[in-house]
Structure 1
Amino acid sequence: MATVFRRHPVDLPAILRALVASPGGASILLCLVALAARAVQFGNPAVQVDDQFYLLVGDRMWQGALPYVDIWDRKPIGLFLIYAAIRGLGGGGIIQYQIVATAFAAGTAITIQRIAGRIASPLGAVAAGVLYLTSLGMCGGEAGQSPVFYNLLVAQAVLATIRVVERPGLDARGMADSVLAMLLMGLALQVKYTVLFEGAYLGLVLAWKAQRGGTGPYRLAALMAFWMALGIAPTAIAWAAYAAIGHGGDFFFANFTSIFGRGHEPSTQTLGRLVTMAAKLLPLGYAGAAGLRPAPDPPAEPASTPILVRRIVAGWAIVAIAGVGIFGDYFDHYALPLLVPLAVATAPVLGDPSAGVAVVARGRTHLIPAAVALPLLTGVVTVTTIGKNRHARGVGEQVQEMADFIRSRLTGCLFVYDGEPILYHLTGSCLPTRWPFPDHLNNRIEDGAIGVDPLAETRRIMAGRPALVVSSDEPERKMNWRTWNYMQAVLARDYRPAASWKIGIRYRVIYERLPGH
C-alpha cells in the first residue's frame, strides 16, 4: 500500500499577520526576539564594567553591606535592590542578572507594542517592539545597564498616562491610572535620576488632562502637588530610611551632591561620542519623525485619540533627548532611554506597506518593507557592536581563568586597582575599601568627587599589605596619575608580577606581594 503525502504551501505572511494581530502571539514573538538578540552575552561576566559592579553590590548586600556606607557609589538604591533581588535567585548571579534583564527588555518591547498599537497597525506596533530589542545592543544595552530595567517602568508610566488621556474625564479609573503613572516614575527615579525630566513631562500631561476636564485651579494645584509627592515618595522613603539609621548625610552626598564634584573629559572625546550616538540613532530619528508627522488630511476632530497619542509621544521623545543632552558625557548607554519613545514613534512607518527601502537587483527594483529594513539595519549594527565589545572587553573564559588563579593564592583581601570589579565577586574576596569600583580611585575625573582623597585611600589600602593586586600593563588616558604613579612605585618595590591575562584588548597583571615586604 502506498501512502501519498501532499505538500501544502505554507503561507508565512498570513501566519505572521495572525501572530501579530493576537496580543498573546505578539508577546510570545517579542519574547523570542529578546532571547535571540541577547543570548550571545549570556554568562559573560565582562559585558560591561557597570554591570559587574551592580552585581557585586547586590551580592554584598546579602552579606550585610550597606550601599553608600560600606560600598560607595552614586547610583540610586533601587538599582542595587534589583541586583540584590536577582542574587536571591541563587546561582553565580551572572547569567541570572542577564536573563532577568532580558525579561525586562521583553516587557518593555511588549509595552511599546501596546502604546504603538494606538497610532499604528498591529504589524507596525509589533515591529516597533522588535526594533527596540534589535537596537538595545547597538547602544550598549545587551546586558544589565540601568536603562534596561527602568525603561520598562517609564514605558508603563507612559501607557498609564495615555489611558488617562483616552478617558472622557478624570474619573476614578483615570485617577487610579494617574497614581500608577506617578508611582512608576518615582520607582524609575530610584533606578536612575535622569528620568526626572520624563516624570515631570508626564505630570504636565496629566495636569493638562485635568484642566481640560474642567478641574478648577485650586483642585488642579492640589492634584499636581499630589502627583509630585507620589513621584518623589520612593526617593524620600529611601533617604528617610538612611536618616533613621544615622546615614542620611551619606545618602544625600552620594545621591545628590557628589556628581557636581566630578571633572570633565576633553570636549573632543565627548563630542566624538555624541557624533557616534547621533549616527546610530539617525535611522530611528528619521523614521520616528516621519511616523509622527501630521496626516495631510487630519480628521475633523483634532482631539481624537491617535492624534493625542502622537503628540504625547512626540513630547516624550523631545524631553528624553533633552535629558540626555543636558547631562553630557554621551556614553553609548546614555542613548538607551531614547530607544523607547523613538521605537513607538516609528510604528506608523513600520506599519505602512508603502514605506520601505528600494533595492535594485538584476535590473529590477524591490521594496524591502520598513518593518523588515529598520530592525534588520539596527540588528546588524547591534551584532557588530556586540562583537566589538566582546573583543575590547573580553569574554567569560578569560575572566574566569583569572579569578580561578587568584582564588588559589588569595589570603586576605584582593585589591583591584585597575581591572574588572567582578573579580571580587568571582573570588569571594573581602573588599579592602569602601570604593571597590576601580574608576573611583584610578580615574582623574573622580578626583575630588567621592568624599575622600583617592591617593590617601590608595595609600591606606596598600598599607594593609594586600597579598594580591590587579592592575594593568599600561595606563589609560583617563588615569589619575597621582594614584597610578604611587601604585607603580609600590608594586615595583614590594610586589612581583605573578601572572597576566589578556582581557579584551588590555593586559591585566596580577601582582603578588614579595615575602618579607
Structure 2
Amino acid sequence: MASHANTVAALREQPLSLGAWKASLERPLTQFLMLMLAAWLLRAATFGHPNFFLDEAFYFAAGIEMSHGAVPFVDIWDRKPWGHFALFAGFAAISHDPAVYQIAATIFAAATAFFIARLALSVSSSWAAVASGLAYLLLLPIFSGAGGQSPVFYNAFVAAAALLVWKGREGGGWQTPFAMLLAGAAIAIKTSVVFEAIALGLVAVWFCWQRHGPSTRVLERAIFWAIIGAAPSLIIALGYWMSGYWMEFWQAMALSNLDKAYGLASSWERAVTMATRIAPIALLAAVSWAHWRGRREAVLLLAWLLAAVAGLIAIPNFYAHYALPLLMPLCVLAAPFFARMPIGPIAIGTLTVMSLWMAPANSQDQTRKAQSALAELAYAAEMHGAERGLLNYDGPMMLHAATGTRPLTPLMFGPHLSHAPEANVSHLNTTAEIARVLSLKPGVIVMAPEERHLPSNRETRAMVLAYIAANCREVAMVSMPMRYRADDIAVYGDCAAR
C-alpha cells in the first residue's frame, strides 16, 4: 500500500511534460481519436433526427425501401449512382433509426479529417496536421455537411486515395492500385468524383514516369490503374444491362442531368454565397503556398483542387454541399499556416467561432421535436386511411418508414414531384405519374399547405389539391422541424372512402 501511495504521489508531482504530449500527438491513433472526439461533439445532438436535411432523409428512406426489395432507378428514382443507394441500404440493414447513418457519417467525417492530417504531416508539425483535420470538421457544417450529405461519405474515399497515391510515389506495390479502387468506389457513390479520380490517376502516372521515364511499363500501369478505377461503375452498369433495366439506369446516370433546367439567377446567387464562405480557408491555403512551392506534394494537391473545382462547375447548381470536396485539399494546403505560433491556434479558434456562428450545432431539443412531429404525422395517417395508400407529395421523407407503407411511385423524393426544374427528368412523365397515382384513390395525402420547393410544379400541385378538395379532409397539421427551418405539413385523410 505504501509503495502504491508513493507512486501516485510521484505521478502527481511529475505531470506529463510538453515533450511527452508532443510525442503522444505524433501517434496516428491519438490523432484519429482527437478528430473523432471533435466530430462527435459537433454532431451528437443530431443523432436520431429524422428530418435533418431533406436530401439525406431521402437517401436513408431509399435505403429502407431497398431493404424491402426496391431496385434503384426502377422502384425508387434519383440521379445518384447505385453505390450511393447501396451505402444507405447498408445502414438501413443495421437499423431503420436515422441515428445509424448519422453515426456512420460522423465516423466517415473523422476518417476524412484523419487522412487530411496524414497528408499535411509532410510539411507541418503534428499539431498543424491535426489542426488541418479539425478545420475540415469545423467547415463541414457551414457547407451543409453537418449530417449525412453524400460528400461526407465519398470524401473519405477520395482523401484515402490521395494519401495512398502519395505513399505509393516511390513505387509501392499496392498503394496506387488500392487508391484507384477507392477512387472508383467514390465514383460509384457520386459521378462527379470522376474528375478527382482522373486527377489522382494522372498524378500517380507522373510519379511513375519520374521513376521509370517514358516506357511501356508506365503505359501498362496507367491502363491497369484506369481499369481498376472504372471497374465498380462498369460492373454496376453491366448488372443493369443484364437485368433489363439499362434505359432506366442510363436515364438516371446521363440523360437526367441534360434534361434538368438550371435557374441561372439562383445558381449565381448560391455561387457567390459559396465563394464568400470558402474564402477564409482558401486565403489560408494561398498564404501557405510558399511552403509548398517546389515540393512534389504540391503537384498532387493542385491537381486534386483543380479537379474538385471542375466537378463543382460540371453541375452548376452550386448548392452549399457541392463545395465539400474542395475543403480537403484546401485544408491540407493551409497546414503550414496552422503551424505558426501563436497565429495558427488563433486561426483555428476563429474557424471554431465562425462555424458555431454561421452553422450552430443543433440541439437535442430539435431532434426530439422532429421525432415527435414525425410520430404525430404517422399516427394521423395510420388512423385515417394510410392502409389504402399514402401519397407523400412533399412531406418528410421518413414518413413511409414511420407508417410501414410503401411509396406509390418511384418518384418518392418530394422535389421530383413538386419542383418545376425536376419535371420529366426521370424515365417517367411527372404529370402522368401523378395522374396514375391519384387514379389509385390513395387514402391519405401528405403535403405542405405552402409551396416548399420553388419554383413549384404548378400542374402537379393543382392536380393533388383538386383530388384533396374532392375526396379528403384535413385530419392533422404538424410543424415539422429541419436543421434551419420548420414547415407546416398537413395530413389529408379519409380520402375517397367507400
Tell me the distance in 1 between the aligned counterparts of 2:227 and 2:464.
48
Q: Which shows bigger deviation, 225-234 or 401-410?
A: 401-410
Match of 2:200 in 1: 202
Q: Which shows bigger deviation, 490-499 or 220-229?
A: 220-229
SS of the equivalent of 2:475 reads strand
Deviations 1:150-192 (A, max 9, x none): 0110001000110122x2xx3xx2x421111111110000010
Decide whether the 8 Å contact of 1:145 with 1:333 is kept in 2.
Answer: yes
Match of 1:325 in 2: 313
Alignment of 1:33-48 (within 5 A): 33-48=38-53
1:273 is aligned to 2:254: no
Segments of structure 2 that go 5 or more residues without pairing to the other structure are none
Percent pairwise identity: 30
Corresponding residue to 1:212 among 205, 210, 213: 210
Alignment of 1:345-494 (within 5 A): 345-356=333-344, 369-383=346-360, 395-409=370-384, 410-476=386-452, 477-494=454-471
Corresponding residue to 1:343 among 297, 322, 331: 331
Once the 2 structures are TM-superposed, how far is the Cα of residue 142 of structure 1 from its aligned partner?
1.2
Tell me the distance in 2 between the aligned counterparts of 1:231 and 1:178.
11
Match of 2:304 in 1: 316
Going from structure 1 to structure 2, the CA distance change for 1:88 and 1:448 (only over 3 Å counts) comes to closer
Tell me the distance in 1 between the aligned counterparts of 2:351 and 2:67.
43
SS of the equivalent of 2:136 reads helix
1:289 is aligned to 2:286: yes
Once the 2 structures are TM-superposed, how far is the Cα of residue 375 of structure 1 from its aligned partner?
3.8
Corresponding residue to 2:31 among 22, 26, 29: 26
Match of 1:362 in 2: none
Once the 2 structures are TM-superposed, how far is the Cα of residue 378 of structure 1 from its aligned partner?
3.0
Once the 2 structures are TM-superposed, how far is the Cα of residue 336 of structure 1 from its aligned partner?
1.2
Match of 2:154 in 1: 150
Match of 1:83 in 2: 88
Tell me the distance in 2 between the aligned counterparts of 1:502 and 1:252.
38
1:500 is aligned to 2:477: yes
Going from structure 1 to structure 2, the CA distance change for 1:16 and 1:130 (only over 3 Å counts) comes to farther
Decide whether the 8 Å contact of 1:134 with 1:382 is kept in 2.
Answer: no
Tell me the distance in 2 between the aligned counterparts of 1:319 and 1:241.
29
Going from structure 1 to structure 2, the CA distance change for 1:158 and 1:379 (only over 3 Å counts) comes to farther
Once the 2 structures are TM-superposed, how far is the Cα of residue 408 of structure 1 from its aligned partner?
3.5
Going from structure 1 to structure 2, the CA distance change for 1:15 and 1:43 (only over 3 Å counts) comes to farther
1:405 aligned partner, one-letter code: A
SS of the equivalent of 1:506 reads strand
Match of 2:125 in 1: 121
Once the 2 structures are TM-superposed, how far is the Cα of residue 10 of structure 1 from its aligned partner?
6.8
Going from structure 1 to structure 2, the CA distance change for 1:411 and 1:342 (only over 3 Å counts) comes to same
SS of the equivalent of 1:509 reads strand
Going from structure 1 to structure 2, the CA distance change for 1:198 and 1:436 (only over 3 Å counts) comes to same
Going from structure 1 to structure 2, the CA distance change for 1:419 and 1:14 (only over 3 Å counts) comes to farther
Match of 2:66 in 1: 61
Tell me the distance in 2 between the aligned counterparts of 1:40 and 1:278.
29
Decide whether the 8 Å contact of 2:447 with 2:489 is kept in 1.
Answer: yes
Once the 2 structures are TM-superposed, how far is the Cα of residue 17 of structure 1 from its aligned partner?
3.5
Corresponding residue to 1:104 among 104, 108, 113: 108
Tell me the distance in 2 between the aligned counterparts of 1:14 and 1:372.
23
SS of the equivalent of 2:477 reads strand
Once the 2 structures are TM-superposed, how far is the Cα of residue 379 of structure 1 from its aligned partner?
4.1
SS of the equivalent of 1:369 reads helix
Match of 1:510 in 2: 491
TM-score, with structure 1 as normaliser: 0.88
TM-score, with structure 2 as normaliser: 0.91
Match of 2:164 in 1: 160
SS of the equivalent of 2:72 reads coil
Tell me the distance in 1 between the aligned counterparts of 2:50 and 2:409.
22
Once the 2 structures are TM-superposed, how far is the Cα of residue 19 of structure 1 from its aligned partner?
4.0
Once the 2 structures are TM-superposed, how far is the Cα of residue 236 of structure 1 from its aligned partner?
0.4
Deviations 1:460-491 (A, max 9, x none): 10110110000111224221111111222221
Give the root-mean-square deviation of aligned CA atoms. Answer: 2.6
How many residue pairs end up in the alignment?
Answer: 484
Once the 2 structures are TM-superposed, how far is the Cα of residue 311 of structure 1 from its aligned partner?
3.2
Once the 2 structures are TM-superposed, how far is the Cα of residue 308 of structure 1 from its aligned partner?
1.1
Deviations 1:270-308 (A, max 9, x none): 12211221121111111111222347xx8xxx5xxxx11
Tell me the distance in 2 between the aligned counterparts of 1:369 and 1:411.
58
1:141 is aligned to 2:145: yes
Segments of structure 1 that go 5 or more residues without pairing to the other structure are 357-367
Q: Which shows bigger deviation, 208-217 or 446-455?
A: 208-217
Going from structure 1 to structure 2, the CA distance change for 1:484 and 1:315 (only over 3 Å counts) comes to same
2:147 aligned partner, one-letter code: A
Match of 2:75 in 1: 70
Tell me the distance in 2 between the aligned counterparts of 1:480 and 1:15.
63
2:374 aligned partner, one-letter code: V
Decide whether the 8 Å contact of 2:442 with 2:495 is kept in 1.
Answer: no
Going from structure 1 to structure 2, the CA distance change for 1:47 and 1:14 (only over 3 Å counts) comes to farther
Once the 2 structures are TM-superposed, how far is the Cα of residue 11 of structure 1 from its aligned partner?
7.5
SS of the equivalent of 2:174 reads helix
Tell me the distance in 1 between the aligned counterparts of 2:461 and 2:17.
60
SS of the equivalent of 1:56 reads helix
Once the 2 structures are TM-superposed, how far is the Cα of residue 88 of structure 1 from its aligned partner?
2.1
Decide whether the 8 Å contact of 2:82 with 2:188 is kept in 1.
Answer: yes
Decide whether the 8 Å contact of 1:119 with 1:309 is kept in 2.
Answer: no
1:130 aligned partner, one-letter code: L
SS of the equivalent of 1:465 reads coil
1:243 aligned partner, one-letter code: W
Once the 2 structures are TM-superposed, how far is the Cα of residue 513 of structure 1 from its aligned partner?
3.4
Deviations 1:370-398 (A, max 9, x none): 343334433443317x58xx69xx73332
Tell me the distance in 2 between the aligned counterparts of 1:418 and 1:374.
36
Tell me the distance in 2 between the aligned counterparts of 1:379 and 1:128.
17
Decide whether the 8 Å contact of 1:292 with 1:314 is kept in 2.
Answer: no
Once the 2 structures are TM-superposed, how far is the Cα of residue 219 of structure 1 from its aligned partner?
3.5
2:275 aligned partner, one-letter code: A
Tell me the distance in 2 between the aligned counterparts of 1:456 and 1:514.
20
Decide whether the 8 Å contact of 1:201 with 1:316 is kept in 2.
Answer: yes
SS of the equivalent of 2:389 reads coil
1:277 aligned partner, one-letter code: M
2:379 aligned partner, one-letter code: D
Once the 2 structures are TM-superposed, how far is the Cα of residue 344 of structure 1 from its aligned partner?
1.1
Once the 2 structures are TM-superposed, how far is the Cα of residue 16 of structure 1 from its aligned partner?
5.4
Tell me the distance in 2 between the aligned counterparts of 1:88 and 1:503.
26
